Amino acid sequence: MTDRTDTPMDWGSPGFNAIEAVMWKAEADPALSSTIMAVEELDRAPEWERFSAAHDWGSRMVPRFRQRVVDGPLGYPAWVDDRDFDLRHHVFRAEMPDGTWQDVLDRAATVAQTAFEPARPPWEALLLTGLRGGRAAYLLKMHHATLDGAAGVQLFAGLHSRQREHNAGKPQPAPPEPRRPNVLRSAVRRELALVGRGVGLLRGTGRAALHPARTVGYVASLRRVLGPVSATPSPELAERSGTWRFIALDVPLPGLSAAAKQAGASLNDAYLAAVSGAFARYHEALGRPVDELPLSIPISIRRPEETSGGNRFAAARLSAPTGIADPTERMLAIRSVVRAIRKEPAIEALDGLSPALARLPTPVLSRAVRQMTSTSDVQASNIPGIRDAEVFVAGAQVLRLYGFGPLPGVAAMIVLMSHGSTCCVTINHDAAAIAEPETFRRCLVEAFDEILALAPTGSRATLRE
């Protein structure tokens, strides 16, 4: 007899935190859409009935999938149970005969830009079958207010199977009973928590006043964290069309790690050095070389005791050293800057300001967010993925997992997500911002190959087409 606990996963914060509320409200401006998408390559097409049943099971394991968003008191969004939840509004399939991987990415970009139904939980799943080689693709579209990259990996690790065969012994929680939403009570609790946080900040300020040097140091850190960086946005990346374009490439994880070690740097340093090198090559190809480029990166502020799911990150900005030709020197320069950023006392300042931002009238909030994000040309994330080489969805093995982020006013969003022994690198770019996409693709591959060449592994990056 199998011993199991038929309870849902402990995934998903109880309600919106401030940064999630900002993301949800700000996308009243279409340019600030916060849709994210996971695209998995499957070795075969799963049976539709089993695939659909897997999503029913997932929605019982993770109750957030059966919740929608409503406007609460003071215009602050809130999660409530969807009393009319129907899987048929969320799980779809389509044939793509002899489809290439670029066909999948083009379809994914179109799906990502389609607005969610406001009266339903903000997620959709799409199974694409008939691809070349008998393979399939699984697209999961969600709203960034639900999760960040780390929370996404937690989600997939909890819901993906470690075996191809059906597991009859897995937990089988009952569908949650829709509860009558008590949005007012939740709002009161949230406001009381914020008052308590404010009192704590005042006490901290009082204590800091007794240490002027510490106060001066924090103010200086605040200026560095929230102030502009030395690099100015590139005129070559300034145009915006509002149309997303998806690119993906595979980079061998052992090769990238070995290259980083050879230079005395981390894998993240190697990744950001390759991103910087790609944009340096692209600008050189256009005849407009740049020495620096404004780049944003997320810094995780998630603590071990915090629940899974949700968003726990701080945004940091830096000047990417595109003018450093030597890849090792570029890597070490990035290492120095990122290390300094992580040690900033005020690194969580934006998280502290988010409650005030979330309460701004929506048009004012959207303008403020657009102004903040427009100071960067590129956002880049590095997400440690699922290390198990073999995970399955309804009997189909996941060969690759690509994560695509949104374009909150920037020219390009680049994400590295490791999967087994592969770094799955994705690029979401505005179609007008990168006017010569084929040139940019070539520059991407060359930049990663330049980093990989630092280690004697013979590794090469592969553009998915």
Tell me, what's the pLDDT at 193?
55
pTM score, whole prediction: 0.91
In the chain, what are the domain boundaries? Answer: 18-185, 230-382+421-463
The residues with which 414 forms a beta bridge, in sequence order, are 380, 427
**What CATH architecture applies to the domain 18-185?**
2-Layer Sandwich (3.30)
- Residue numbers of the chain with a pLDDT score lower than 50: 1, 198-206, 209
Active site residue 283: no
Ramachandran bin of 120, using left for φ above 0, alpha for ψ from -120 to 50, beta for the remaining angles: beta
What is the Cβ-side half-sphere exposure of residue 141, based on CA atoms within 13 angstroms?
27
DSSP secondary structure, 209-237, as one string: HT-HHHHHHHHHHHHHHHSPPS----GGG
Cα–Cα distances in angstroms (integers) from residue 391 to residues 91, 164, 296, 356, 385, in the given order: 20, 8, 32, 42, 12
110, 141 contact by CB (below 8 A): no
Q: Calculate the dihedral angle through the C-alpha atoms of 55, 57, 62, 65, rounding to the nearest 10 degrees.
A: 40
Among 144, 160, 283, 419, the one annotated catalytic: 144
For CA atoms 363, 368, 374, 380, give the dihedral sign.
Answer: negative
Give dist(CA 283, CA 443) in Å, integer: 10
Tell me, what's the pLDDT at 291?
97
Give dist(CA 123, CA 141) in Å, integer: 5
Tell me, what's the pLDDT at 1?
41
Tell me, what's the pLDDT at 305?
66
Residue corresponding to tokens 């592994």: 457
**Strands in 73-121 per DSSP E:** 77-81, 91-99
Instruction: Give the pLDDT confidence of 291-311 residue by residue, as tens digits.
Output: 999 999 988 887 776 667 788
Question: Taking Cα atoms as reference points, which of 145, 28, 149, 76 lies closest to residue 424?
Answer: 149
Does domain 230-382+421-463 bear CATH number 3.30.559? Answer: yes
Order of strands across the sheet that contains 378-383:
313-320, 293-300, 378-383, 412-419, 422-430, 244-252, 462-463
Give dist(CA 236, CA 394) in Å, integer: 45
Q: Say how far residue 168 (Cα) sits from the centre of its chain.
A: 33
Q: At 68, is the secondary structure helix, strand, or coil? A: strand
Tell me, what's the pLDDT at 199?
47
Tell me, what's the pLDDT at 202?
44
Give dist(CA 206, CA 262) in Å, integer: 47
For CA atoms 196, 202, 206, 207, give the dihedral sign.
Answer: positive
Give dist(CA 366, CA 156) in Å, integer: 31
Question: Taking Cα atoms as reference points, which of 459, 392, 342, 349 lies closest to residue 167?
Answer: 392
DSSP secondary structure, 289-306, as one string: --S-EEEEEEEE---TTS
Instruction: Give the pLDDT confidence of 126-177 residue by residue, as tens digits.
Output: 999 999 999 999 999 999 989 888 888 889 988 999 999 998 889 999 988 8
Same fold, 18-185 and 230-382+421-463: yes
Tally the residues of the chain: 465
Tell me, what's the pLDDT at 211?
61
Cα Rg of the chain (Å, integer): 22
How many other C-beta atoms can be found within 10 angstroms of the C-beta atom of residue 221?
16
Give dist(CA 384, CA 394) in Å, integer: 24
| Side chain identity, residue 330 | R
Give dist(CA 420, CA 203) in Å, integer: 47
Q: At 277, is the secondary structure helix, strand, or coil? A: helix
Question: Taking Cα atoms as reference points, which of 185, 56, 39 lies closest to residue 99?
Answer: 39
For CA atoms 113, 415, 233, 223, give the dihedral sign.
Answer: positive
Structure tokens at 60: 């019982």
Give dist(CA 108, CA 404) in Å, integer: 9
How many other C-beta atoms can be found within 10 angstroms of the C-beta atom of residue 49?
9
Q: Of all residues in the chain, what percent are helix, strand and coil, respectively (each to 5)?
A: 40, 25, 35
DSSP secondary structure, 381-440, as one string: EEE-----S--EETTEEEEEEEEE---SSSSEEEEEEEETTEEEEEEEEETTTSS-HHHH
